[in-house]
Amino acid sequence: MKSVHIPLSLLRILGVCALLVLPVPSGADEAENQIKYRQAVMKAIGGHMGASSLIVRGKVSHRDQLKVHANGLLSLSRDIAGLFPEGSDFGETEAREIIWEKWDDFRKAADESKAGIENFVRVVETGGDSDLAAAFRRVGKGCRGCHEDFRQKDE
């Protein structure tokens, strides 16, 4: 069978047309959505913190679930700085401009927080319960250490 020859230039034109009609993904990574996303992640982090706190303080006896919350904190905190792309500093956000002005300090705060959480996971998994309170306090200090400098205070 004889193959049909379509001139290359025609293929090119068809290709360009196809590109033009492809739906453009709208809204992906817009500042507004980046802000919503990081607030959702922070809320999830806050959820694991609240649950951990109740267990560590002995208010509930779900000690067997502490590992889940500690690891949840760690998973969500692996790349906190990555939640703050440049340009996501306006709109409905409590993120302060200073984050991008002092980016290295911000990263450091994120790393310190992560180190505290890694320690917490270790203690939860292998340490004695007597070390739990101190390890948990260090996690809280990591959150505050960043919020104090880089998050707008509520009026």
Cβ of residue 6: shortest distance to ligand HEC, in angstroms? 52
Query: What's the angle, vertex CA 13, arms to CA 9 and CA 19, rounded to 5?
Result: 145
Cβ of residue 76: shortest distance to ligand HEC, in angstroms? 8
Residues 6 or more apart from 75 whose CB is under 8 A from it? none
The number of residues that bind ligand HEC (CB under 6 A) is 24
Q: How many C-beta neighbours within 10 Å does residue 19 have? A: 8
Cα–Cα distance for residue pair 57/65, rounded to 1 Å? 14
Binding mask 101-130 for ligand HEC (x = CB under 6 A): -----x--xx--x-----------------
Whether 28 and 34 have beta carbons less than 8 Å apart is answered as: no
State the residues that interact with ligand HEC by CB under 6 A.
35, 38-39, 42-43, 45-46, 49, 73, 80, 93-95, 106, 109-110, 113, 139, 142-143, 146-147, 150-151
